[in-house]
Structure 1
């Protein structure tokens, strides 16, 4: 029975390997660059770098901990060169699936209007914000307009060609239904629940994968922390170059974190919170820009003052230099970066309002659609009474929308300013759908209910994402504090042993040297460990930003907090260890 299970497992692994190789070969066929040219310009140099890495790792007279990163660097370049076409196809697949639910909702809204069904796809093809999906819509209409194919034939052709299984299945079902004589709007209205359920499954699956990656990341960082501690402590017993050994392990640590950052970026569901109009800078945008430029300028001033202190130029520099001599290195690194938290705090304040507007919008758009259908009136007339209701933080934008419509500003322009001032990605997309649907003769009540139901489902998923983000933040903050403690406790142990060696004068004994204190350059190693804290804070902040889906400057806030957590842990560790030595 056990042998049968083993054989079945091996057979499944072989099948998975064959499928992977087949998908890799297909990716090479779909690549825009010719395979011969790609082999010469990309694969050949990566193979050469791998060979050089292997030769260097074998022949160079370096410690093992230094040779390993050299070999891994060559291996990484080779694997990256071989798998790059597959990564391109995967990127295209994610581009097709990231906004599929929005595109199908948009398609459904347009299908309920009075325009031709091919014009529905043509309209979606003009929406550049949909990226790969807009390109796919244009390919479908090109098959119809240029090659005189029927819409169902064009859909079937593209269903077989797209790298996304979900999009392919949807196009195939749509083609079959249209060929059978079903109306486009009937099919799409019936598909809404199915598409939303699939989107929920994919979204929750991505969050589940992030939970797994969080645990794996925790294990790997703890392992790399142990490796760095070994790199700090072992040279005092072996006599190898401590600085080179520690630097090599730090490079390996950097590669591990970069790999996890890429994986988390790939797995995170695409669901941006903010929307920025390219042609209009809102008050919120200007406030964030002012805070960002001001904080960067202030940090640059602090760095300049520290530079004067290092060089000892001018009386200010000499004063700063005296202060720097008594200040731990981690604090010297963290202090100039502190102003960068300001734009993050400003963005977080406005981001909370954006989230509140998103929560109020489904009720607003449903009430607007129902009122327009019941009164058979324009949006302006309905808003005259609707704006008196309390929609929380969204009430201000609704009131300004009414004022603009009442002043005879065009509907397109009025809704443009409305969506820009809300700064919400979902409000912008769904408001555009509602506006276009109304202009093309759609039923307001149906449009409002359709948009409201879809947005409510997305908001439920966002709450789950927020919980996953909070958990990730706690893990990354905790890892930063514990890793920093481990790094600097290892350094303090080395200093204790070096002090013990000097005080006991072990070299006078005949049994040989036991402790190689001379291989350490403590100030340089302290700088290297501080750089680890800095780099870890940077990538951890970017991971949080990627999972959170909020404003980009939120990463600045987390970066500063993580730097201070790591630096504070380092300083406290050094102080406590120094107190033990003195005792």
Structure 2
């Protein structure tokens, strides 16, 4: 059993080392230049740091030890950078491949040459690394006079993504056998979408694992923080130092998990953000901007009132605003000032709900538009005259505006561009652009409509799974926040009560100071630190939720305010509960 485990570990290590070595061949500079300019100097720097640690014997160990660790960190970064670089390019390709393949299929069904299809896609900057790889194929054909099938097969050996490599390889052999590009891509649509669906669902599955691991780690850190708060009353160590150290670890754990979740989350933006200078939907944009500006300004006003009241700068403080309370608990000094941020969060959430409804209706609209255009052999404007009377839900007002713009003889491409800006949907912008380009180049509208509708329906289904994963995460984070705040302030309030009792009951006959070390505690400072970690937890947790649901960054404000209030109210309730129980 032990032999099989060791052989399995050795085999896995060798396989990983092989992939690291292969990645050196796929970076932008030659292997020899990378080794000479980066890897070798990093190794020399590591040897120097090790020598410094050995020579500087007079320095304490805790000072000497980090020196070679810094060199080792730099050397490790140099060794594994090509692997990270290649993995990043693979991820970037697989994020965009479903849109790019749909775009390629749409272009292939038009009357343009197949090389123009590749040139068109290579010029789309939004496809990023994928556009670069397609550009390499174009370069091989245009500069080195290779055939398209040879160029695809050759590039298939170089691309970092197995999905794209397999696609190029099969495309090269198919074109070499004489099949039309459009026939191959139409038959390939199901395969590409299925692979994208597998990657997307795999990412969601990995996030589920990360959520379980995150819960375990945060609960462990919570227990550690409770022990750091309570144990010094028995040992006499400085509790402020121990609590600060555990809070720092707590923060690093949360930041680490946030970065991992951000890396693993599927790339699927909801909002369409036009380029700077583009005309946007004035009424919606103005409303959203005003809400954000007013809310942020109100936050600063409340912060000024709160801080001014605490330091006696202004005659009005938080107790004056919360006049109905006899005494303002300390946690409310954090919760109240951030409350106005919930307003832009609600407004953006409502707008995002409308975008999701438009995304749900767009496949039906584009399919009906394509089928009607093909049947009537009419222009888009003529077809919209009848389609605009049908109910397409949240998309209906945008269709009406599109019809009016086309009726005013605004250029078709510009009218559709403004249609996408009105909807504010990333998917609608991409797919409507494909439809317009396909129609302008002579594509069959019915075929285009069905192709786009099918692909967008698949993405909508995946988004529904993503929304369910986000709901699960929201419940988990709110539960962890309440449990952590409860545990933090149970420990703090128990210590505070014991400290108060020890000061009251210290007499000549019975000195509590010989049993507990209440004098080492600075209760207000520790309470400030615990409230700080509640605030920090609210920030990171809200960012995690926003990362998984893929929505607008302002959506995080709702959960930031909600988590802050939950933590603060739990802290207040816990202090009151513990006091009521222990002081009976």
TM-score with structure 2 length normalisation?
0.91
**Distance in structure 1 (CA, Å) of the matches to 2:274 and 2:284:** 12
**Distance in structure 1 (CA, Å) of the matches to 2:12 and 2:306:** 56
User: Structure 1 stretch 387-396 or stretch 511-520: which is displaced more?
Assistant: 511-520
The answer as to 2:355 corresponding to 1:348 is: no
Q: RMSD over aligned Cα, in angstroms? A: 3.1
Partner in structure 1 of residue 442 of structure 2:
441
1:395-453: per-residue Cα shift (whole Å, max 9, x none)?
11111111111110000110000011011111111101110000001011100111111
Partner in structure 2 of residue 426 of structure 1:
427
Partner in structure 1 of residue 310 of structure 2:
310
**Distance in structure 1 (CA, Å) of the matches to 2:579 and 2:209:** 39
**Distance in structure 1 (CA, Å) of the matches to 2:82 and 2:547:** 24
**1:176-195 aligned within 5 A:** 176-195=173-192
The answer as to 2:528 corresponding to 1:527 is: yes
CA contact (8 A) 2:153 2:172 kept: yes
Once the two structures are TM-superposed, the CA of residue 257 in structure 1 deviates from its matched residue by 0.9
Once the two structures are TM-superposed, the CA of residue 166 in structure 1 deviates from its matched residue by 0.9
Identify if the C-alpha distance between structure 1 residues 152 and 571 changes in structure 2 by more than 3 Å, giving closer, same or farther. same
**Distance in structure 2 (CA, Å) of the matches to 1:273 and 1:553:** 13
CA contact (8 A) 1:506 1:513 kept: no
The answer as to 2:213 corresponding to 1:212 is: no
**Distance in structure 1 (CA, Å) of the matches to 2:486 and 2:476:** 15
Identify if the C-alpha distance between structure 1 residues 361 and 222 changes in structure 2 by more than 3 Å, giving closer, same or farther. same
1:452-492: per-residue Cα shift (whole Å, max 9, x none)?
11111111111111111111100001100110110111111
CA contact (8 A) 1:305 1:320 kept: no
**Distance in structure 2 (CA, Å) of the matches to 1:36 and 1:514:** 64
CA contact (8 A) 1:46 1:81 kept: no
The answer as to 2:288 corresponding to 1:285 is: no
User: Structure 1 stretch 103-112 or stretch 268-277: which is displaced more?
Assistant: 268-277
CA contact (8 A) 1:312 1:318 kept: no
**Distance in structure 2 (CA, Å) of the matches to 1:240 and 1:71:** 31
**1:232-311 aligned within 5 A:** 232-278=229-275, 279-282=278-281, 283-311=283-311
Once the two structures are TM-superposed, the CA of residue 164 in structure 1 deviates from its matched residue by 1.0
The answer as to 2:134 corresponding to 1:137 is: yes
Once the two structures are TM-superposed, the CA of residue 84 in structure 1 deviates from its matched residue by 4.4
What SS does structure 1 have at the residue aligned with 2:409? coil
1:41-73: per-residue Cα shift (whole Å, max 9, x none)?
878889999999xx9998569xxxxxx999999
User: Structure 1 stretch 264-273 or stretch 15-24: which is displaced more?
Assistant: 15-24
**Distance in structure 1 (CA, Å) of the matches to 2:351 and 2:164:** 35
User: Structure 1 stretch 144-153 or stretch 74-83: which is displaced more?
Assistant: 74-83
Partner in structure 2 of residue 23 of structure 1:
19
**1:477-516 aligned within 5 A:** 477-505=478-506, 513-516=514-517
Identify if the C-alpha distance between structure 1 residues 472 and 293 changes in structure 2 by more than 3 Å, giving closer, same or farther. same
Once the two structures are TM-superposed, the CA of residue 497 in structure 1 deviates from its matched residue by 2.2
Identify if the C-alpha distance between structure 1 residues 250 and 77 changes in structure 2 by more than 3 Å, giving closer, same or farther. farther
Once the two structures are TM-superposed, the CA of residue 153 in structure 1 deviates from its matched residue by 2.1
CA contact (8 A) 1:47 1:78 kept: no
Identify if the C-alpha distance between structure 1 residues 226 and 154 changes in structure 2 by more than 3 Å, giving closer, same or farther. same
**Distance in structure 1 (CA, Å) of the matches to 2:329 and 2:471:** 31
Identify if the C-alpha distance between structure 1 residues 511 and 388 changes in structure 2 by more than 3 Å, giving closer, same or farther. closer
Partner in structure 2 of residue 65 of structure 1:
none
CA contact (8 A) 2:398 2:422 kept: yes
1:513-534: per-residue Cα shift (whole Å, max 9, x none)?
3311122111111111111111
Identify if the C-alpha distance between structure 1 residues 581 and 101 changes in structure 2 by more than 3 Å, giving closer, same or farther. same
**1:339-488 aligned within 5 A:** 339-488=340-489
CA contact (8 A) 1:275 1:428 kept: yes
1:533-567: per-residue Cα shift (whole Å, max 9, x none)?
11111111111001101111001111111111111
**Consecutive unaligned residues in structure 1, runs of 5 or more:** 62-67
User: Structure 1 stretch 248-257 or stretch 9-18: which is displaced more?
Assistant: 9-18
**Consecutive unaligned residues in structure 2, runs of 5 or more:** none
Work out the number of aligned pairs and report it. 571
**Distance in structure 1 (CA, Å) of the matches to 2:10 and 2:279:** 55
CA contact (8 A) 1:69 1:249 kept: no
CA contact (8 A) 2:542 2:557 kept: yes
What SS does structure 2 have at the residue aligned with 1:316? coil
The answer as to 2:170 corresponding to 1:173 is: yes
Question: Please, which of 112, 116, 126 is the counterpart of residue 115 of structure 1?
Answer: 112
CA contact (8 A) 2:26 2:158 kept: no
User: Structure 1 stretch 500-509 or stretch 456-465: which is displaced more?
Assistant: 500-509
Once the two structures are TM-superposed, the CA of residue 342 in structure 1 deviates from its matched residue by 1.1
Partner in structure 1 of residue 553 of structure 2:
552
**Distance in structure 1 (CA, Å) of the matches to 2:7 and 2:17:** 15
CA contact (8 A) 2:543 2:556 kept: yes
**Distance in structure 2 (CA, Å) of the matches to 1:210 and 1:336:** 33
Identify if the C-alpha distance between structure 1 residues 41 and 547 changes in structure 2 by more than 3 Å, giving closer, same or farther. farther
TM-score with structure 1 length normalisation?
0.91
User: Structure 1 stretch 363-372 or stretch 501-510: which is displaced more?
Assistant: 501-510
Once the two structures are TM-superposed, the CA of residue 330 in structure 1 deviates from its matched residue by 1.8
